[in-house]
Amino acid sequence: MLSEKRYNDFMNLRALVRKNIFNLEPYSCARDEFQGEASVYLDANESPYNSPYNRYPDPLQRSLKEKIAKIKGVRAEQILIGNGSDESIDLTFRVFCEPSVDNVVAMEPTYGMYKVCADINNVEYRKVALEDGFKLRSTKVLDAVDEYTKVIFLCSPNNPTGNLMDKAEILKILTDFGGIIAIDEAYIDFAGCSGWLPKLDKYPNLVIYQTFSKAWGLSSMRCGLAFAREEIIVLFNKVKYPYNISSLTQNAVSEQLSKGDEQKNCWVEQILAERRPLIDMLRQMKIVKEIYHSDANFILIKVVDANKIYEYLTQKGIIVRNRSRVSLCDDCLRITVGTPDENHALVEALKTYL
């Protein structure tokens, strides 16, 4: 368990946050200073012409957050909206990790952006290899931690492996680690469970990333989410660019959410229904050596020669993701589940591979 001192430090956040960020006086934009309705806006040096594009968007995306809060069962104050989840990941570094002093720990293999953001921010990145079956072992993760470890990145379901991480293992990390635990749930809609969002109020050190890019079919909107306790969201808000989400994105995502989540759920069901026969077809192929368990909208497979098969498929106009250079993923391809026609095209192409 956490030492009492570490826990108290944690509760007031001060010990975890970079000093300059803790003390930061954030930029105050015109739309921060005045909120509400007025008839004449002469405060932001906007053009009076070309409505509605002439006006700056709401810097805190209040109306969109209300809708997200309702669908996700959290309070609007627990939400940060970013230009994709990648913005939330980068903000986590910029708020908590002092360059060339602090470090972060992440599982390996996992989503590549944690390492890229670590490198950009000049923060040491410690990898902990997943076990057989790409399972997470909490003791190994906690062994990699030292007093300068500020964040542990977990990804569940994990990219590129596709599997959910064991709840008990994550729970042990949540209760034993005195820093931030960031759980990336980009694929949680496909996993058939609620993920960690219902536990947000219970764990003050929890940050959860989700996104509209996958199950919601809104990759082009660049709209990612971070959920955390309000004190952490306040820090993220201080550091993010003031108008990070355009009004086009705010309005379009808002409009999608007004219709509820039935359409999204329906798409998820279709993709999961398609995943089963696709796995069955792949299993029958001699070139496929292993199919890893998937809780996501993609499948990781091990094949006889990933580079060759990747090239072959590319020549046929079918693009999959070659993950064979990723550690523990020798000869692996990552295949997104598409429409029935797209999956059929893939299977037919693989059948004629010699």
Ligand X SMILES: *Cc1c(COP(=O)(O)O)cnc(C)c1O
- Our finding on whether 109 is near ligand X (CB under 6 A) is no
Virtual torsion, Cα 246, 215, 206, 154, nearest 10 deg: -120
**Long-range CB contacts for residues 16-25, cutoff 8 Å, separation at least 24:** 16/96, 16/150, 16/179, 16/180, 17/95, 17/96, 17/235, 18/94, 18/95, 18/96, 18/97, 18/98, 19/98, 21/94, 21/95, 21/235, 21/238, 21/239, 22/235, 24/238, 24/239
Residues in the chain: 354
Number of residues counted as binding ligand X (CB under 6 A) = 13
Among 90, 102, 169, 184, binds ligand X (CB under 6 A): 184
Nearer residue to ligand X within complex by CB, 74 or 350: 74
Q: Is 111 in the site for ligand X (CB under 6 A)?
A: yes
Q: Point out which residues pair with 104 in neighbouring strands.
A: 125, 151
Q: And the tokens for 156?
A: 């569940």
Nearer to ligand X, 214 or 229 (CB): 214
Binding residues among 44-83 for ligand X as defined by CB under 6 A:
none
Q: Where is 95: in which H helix or E strand?
A: helix 85-96
Of residues 244 through 273, those in contact with ligand X by CB under 6 A are none
Indicate whether 155 belongs to the interface with ligand X (CB under 6 A).
yes
Residue 34 backbone dihedrals phi, psi, to 5 degrees: -115, 125
Which is nearer to ligand X, 17 or 106 (by Cβ)? 106
Sketch the per residue contact string, 218 through 237, with ligand X: x for CB under 6 A, - otherwise: -x----x-------------
Binding status of residue 86 toward ligand X by CB under 6 A:
yes
Nearer residue to ligand X within complex by CB, 17 or 249: 249
- Ramachandran region of residue 83, left (φ > 0), alpha (ψ -120 to 50) or beta? beta
CA–CA separation, 301 and 283 (whole Å): 10
- Check residue 106 for interaction with ligand X (CB under 6 A): no
- 85 binding ligand X? (CB under 6 A): yes
Separation in Å, CA 231 to CA 13, 62, 187, 228, 240: 8, 17, 26, 8, 15
Minimal distance in Å, beta carbon 7 to ligand X? 29
User: According to CB under 6 A, which one of 103, 211, 294, 343 is a site residue for ligand X?
Assistant: 211
> Which residue number, 84 or 109, has a Cβ lying nearer to ligand X?
84
190 scored as a contact of ligand X (CB under 6 A): no
Provide the CA 179 distance to its chain's centre, in angstroms: 19
Our finding on whether 161 is near ligand X (CB under 6 A) is no
Binding mask 162-181 for ligand X (x = CB under 6 A): --------------------
Piece of 26-34, 73-81, 210-218, 274-282 that binds ligand X (CB under 6 A):
210-218
Check residue 159 for interaction with ligand X (CB under 6 A).
yes
Give the one residue of 57, 59, 84, 162 binding ligand X; rule: CB under 6 A. 84
Cβ–Cβ contacts within 10 Å for residue 307, how many? 13
Nearest to 231 by CA among 20, 13, 34, 1: 13
Least distance from C-beta 352 to ligand X, angstroms? 30
Question: Rule CB under 6 A: which residues touch ligand X?
Answer: 84-86, 111, 155, 159, 184, 186, 211, 213-214, 219, 224
